[in-house]
Structure 1
């Protein structure tokens, strides 16, 4: 691994080089090239930068791989030509030499691993950004041995300083991204993953929560071998999602996906404590039919206080009391006082009025088109409040648990698209949702009276919406000629606008039915989508 100073220089030079190349592409090459030639060069540039970014992160390791793993899932925000090149960061991380791992055990336990384990495979079973796993035998049981890399704490501290400076530069000179909050959240995430005692605690909490659920399994820890730098659990045999066969077209629902969605409905709606990193390597499907979760370094919870504030937000939306919505958002800490309540109220009011029109014109999103969406109206409105929009970008400060929910959703969508691309994730959620969230006498009555009819409609929406967005993102849905010049930004604005209004509609409906938990989740997703809409719109008007 490079010395810390050289690592920082590598990052700074790469960021500067990429920025200058991007300016050259968009400010010069775009002017002198035809649309077709420019698009070809743009795609080649993104692929090349994806490969270079991946190689740099592999070379630097540690914190940079963790960041790359997160970025590689943002298909709804960043260009897919760039992101596809980053996918190797998820499961192809080069392992460290066994000597380094054994050194850590000697320092912590005073003896080599060979004296602690009856058998030990010196070849790494799995390697991650901050640790790697070896397989061994302890007291006649096969175990997974997770060990933090020696010196990773010092390297991470130095890397975080470098990343903080890069984020500050982006926040100051490129686009406002609430840099201070981003760094605080990143530091919190990294520090928690550098203490495996935290992961042990999370494992034990989820094991207790899932104790009565027959479809799920959490590994047993070997606590006498667990500490700040080491975590040993029983080894669980099974297959990862990438080792399973997907369902044929129009076949029955995949039972493995049914278990996966049930697990997350339980964690988010019932336990309010959820595994925040459901990538394929952390999900094991056992021969017994159980779904086993592993790697509990990233978890999040939702507090009762946050739930109560969100209740006031949705009550305000139901009553069209937008001042109450604004006040509650400030109380939640999602928006700072640098944005006035009047400015925020204008944005909320416009969004709801737009939503009602779309619902009426499209029969609840069933007949989407550019004529009914009228993105030009949105752009004119955003231009009128441009100053307020800039303040909004600078003042947004969403809690990290809400951002984690967005990441979980993105990862789950990837898992579902792999095993059953013909059905939406929400189709799989219908049954466990009704069983877990709509429980209790009052919920059962609401469900019996009108819930089934509504959910039948609700679960038919995602596929049509996904089909529309799929065609739009791949150029199969042709916009009118007067939209051609701004196609890329309009595509982003359209996507986030549809998602934001769709999630907001679901949230309002559940709020009216007093279904608290689902309405809260949909409002959170709506807020994240409109946040992305605001950033895309501001970028569009800067180009104009």
Structure 2
């Protein structure tokens, strides 16, 4: 019976994908040549909206993993047409709840005592319903709690659904467009597997509470461990507002303090704690009256290795310095780019992309609902043609490193949250300060000072080293000068050269003191300022000696 049900679900998905592709293909071949560009665009928009609405209905009817897949797909604005994706937005927060009797049956399979006997004021209406679980509220020992229960049979449904999704990804990857289908399927399967074991959520909730114990701006609900199993999780209930309870106009042009905390939390999670909450959609963020930001639902949490964290730091720092070669090296080390793309081609693409990003950031006044008029994808195709890189070769070169599916999901959701709460500012404006405070100093400073600071210092001191070699050889008598001027004139010439040396050194040291100060790297900045001070003091003493010998 279950196998027949899974096959029926699979047929529904296959039928939708094939019909959508076939209809679009026929339209583009049979209708497009006979329509004006305006009529074709209107026709295509109507078709995509209809198929998006049909996809939403299918996801809702199938439920479970398909709703989660739909939630993820609904954020892929950089890949799929926006007319199709806007129809899927209801999947984010309008999932229909299941009957309470199903929740009670799942509880009874874990505990002998009924829910109604353990929790007072138990609400049979769902407080929240998601793709794989449902939350009800009640009171335990006088304390309001959230009771999260996995849907009955969701694990078996998920296994069958994932097989179908893997086949679809393989077909798309093999016959249509390279999307790293195998890697996407593998990471998606691992992500779903973790979310269907609430013991993982309990583990990461505890771990997050411990990691953030010294951060007073954040709050995480306390678990009631005696009621936590593989399919049930009970925690304290946290009161507060959600993102859509706010009106962006309330801040009157000021930065949103909650967004500053949100981006700081992710800087800490990724670069310090090396694990991150991978599902920051509006329903999982609570803004408390105390000013604290609360994260809930730790079903989707991803670990990130030390090497991955290091390479991400290197990539971001290289982007800040517009060091395209270092960016390319980082992406290649991460495994994000294959051998089909040469390094010099990748550098050109990175340079173009950063230049375009800066232009968009500087010229855009509202970051909500960016359209094709702003993004101008035609420019990208023209650029790729100029550097002789086909779109097919570019896509076939892009790979999906471990954990990057979760990172992509986080970035897409954060961009949505930021564009709603503060449409006048980009995420990058909020990220600059916490990036400097968390990533560019603190526990990882010594490592970065060794890796990047030594490289910068080596290139910085190249000219002084040449001057030092010259002075060294001069002291050893390897250079001989035949000066016919009187001795006092030769001394003054030597003092002038000394002033040039110390002036050059002082200027270079002072420049790098400012460079590191702007990045909030206090120790190297202070060191360079001290060296600059000593150099300028030596310059002043040499200048004073020169004046006395006139």
Q: TM-score, normalised by structure 2?
A: 0.72
What whole-Å deviation, never above 9, does each CA across 1:242-269 have from its counterpart, x for those lacking one?
1122235853222222222222222223
C-alpha distance in structure 2 between counterparts of 1:376 and 1:396, whole Å: 16
Over 3 Å counting, the alpha-carbon distance change for 1:391 and 1:80 in structure 2 is closer
Superposition pairs for residues 166-245 of structure 1, below 5 Å?
A: 166-245=168-247
Partner of 2:284: 282
Superposition pairs for residues 488-527 of structure 1, below 5 Å?
A: none
Q: Considering only aligned residues, what root-mean-square deviation do their CA atoms show, in Å?
A: 3.6
- Aligned to 1:296, which of 274, 295, 298? 298
Q: Is the 8 A contact 2:204 2:298 kept in 1?
A: yes
Partner of 1:510: none
C-alpha distance in structure 1 between counterparts of 2:157 and 2:392, whole Å: 36
C-alpha distance in structure 1 between counterparts of 2:281 and 2:375, whole Å: 35
Q: Answer yes or no: is 1:417 the counterpart of 2:482.
A: no
What whole-Å deviation, never above 9, does each CA across 1:316-342 have from its counterpart, x for those lacking one?
9999896x9878766544355xx36xx
Q: Answer yes or no: is 1:450 the counterpart of 2:515.
A: yes
Partner of 2:501: none
- Aligned to 2:146, which of 141, 144, 150? 144
- Aligned to 2:53, which of 35, 51, 54? 51
Over 3 Å counting, the alpha-carbon distance change for 1:355 and 1:423 in structure 2 is closer
C-alpha distance in structure 2 between counterparts of 1:291 and 1:353, whole Å: 36
**SS of residue matched to 1:133:** strand
C-alpha distance in structure 1 between counterparts of 2:49 and 2:511, whole Å: 51
- Aligned to 2:89, which of 71, 87, 90? 87
Over 3 Å counting, the alpha-carbon distance change for 1:312 and 1:266 in structure 2 is closer
Offset of 1:111 from its aligned partner?
Answer: 3.2
Partner of 2:272: 270
Partner of 1:253: 255
Over 3 Å counting, the alpha-carbon distance change for 1:101 and 1:66 in structure 2 is same
Q: Answer yes or no: is 1:344 the counterpart of 2:349.
A: no
Over 3 Å counting, the alpha-carbon distance change for 1:130 and 1:26 in structure 2 is same
C-alpha distance in structure 1 between counterparts of 2:147 and 2:514, whole Å: 52
Over 3 Å counting, the alpha-carbon distance change for 1:24 and 1:423 in structure 2 is same
C-alpha distance in structure 2 between counterparts of 1:41 and 1:352, whole Å: 35
Offset of 1:376 from its aligned partner?
Answer: 7.0
What whole-Å deviation, never above 9, does each CA across 1:87-138 have from its counterpart, x for those lacking one?
1101100111111111111111123211222331111110010000000111
C-alpha distance in structure 1 between counterparts of 2:353 and 2:122, whole Å: 60
| Larger Rg over CA atoms | 2
What whole-Å deviation, never above 9, does each CA across 1:347-403 have from its counterpart, x for those lacking one?
2243367579x69xx9998689999x9757623345x454xx646534543224233
Offset of 1:309 from its aligned partner?
Answer: 5.3
Q: Answer yes or no: is 1:378 the counterpart of 2:383.
A: yes
Offset of 1:140 from its aligned partner?
Answer: 1.5
**SS of residue matched to 2:21:** helix
Over 3 Å counting, the alpha-carbon distance change for 1:44 and 1:448 in structure 2 is farther
**SS of residue matched to 1:247:** helix
**SS of residue matched to 1:300:** strand
**SS of residue matched to 1:252:** coil
Q: Is the 8 A contact 1:309 1:328 kept in 2?
A: yes
Q: Is the 8 A contact 1:178 1:396 kept in 2?
A: yes
C-alpha distance in structure 1 between counterparts of 2:360 and 2:287, whole Å: 37
C-alpha distance in structure 2 between counterparts of 1:227 and 1:153, whole Å: 15
Q: Is the 8 A contact 2:324 2:350 kept in 1?
A: no
Over 3 Å counting, the alpha-carbon distance change for 1:393 and 1:48 in structure 2 is same
Over 3 Å counting, the alpha-carbon distance change for 1:447 and 1:72 in structure 2 is farther
Offset of 1:213 from its aligned partner?
Answer: 1.1
Partner of 1:163: 165
Partner of 2:35: 33
**SS of residue matched to 1:119:** coil
Partner of 1:73: 75
Over 3 Å counting, the alpha-carbon distance change for 1:254 and 1:233 in structure 2 is same
Q: Answer yes or no: is 1:305 the counterpart of 2:335.
A: no
C-alpha distance in structure 1 between counterparts of 2:35 and 2:10, whole Å: 36
What whole-Å deviation, never above 9, does each CA across 1:452-505 have from its counterpart, x for those lacking one?
7689xxxxxxxxxxxxxxxxxxxxxxxxxxxxxxxxxxxxxxxxxxxxxxxxxx
Q: Is the 8 A contact 2:148 2:233 kept in 1?
A: yes
Offset of 1:51 from its aligned partner?
Answer: 0.6
Q: Is the 8 A contact 1:329 1:335 kept in 2?
A: yes
What whole-Å deviation, never above 9, does each CA across 1:385-433 have from its counterpart, x for those lacking one?
54xx646534543224233223222211211221221222222334433
Q: Is the 8 A contact 1:326 1:344 kept in 2?
A: no
User: How many residue pairs are counted as aligned between the two chains?
Assistant: 445
Partner of 2:9: 7
Offset of 1:293 from its aligned partner?
Answer: 0.3
Q: Is the 8 A contact 1:247 1:254 kept in 2?
A: no
Over 3 Å counting, the alpha-carbon distance change for 1:344 and 1:230 in structure 2 is same
Q: Is the 8 A contact 2:361 2:426 kept in 1?
A: no
Q: Is the 8 A contact 1:196 1:228 kept in 2?
A: yes
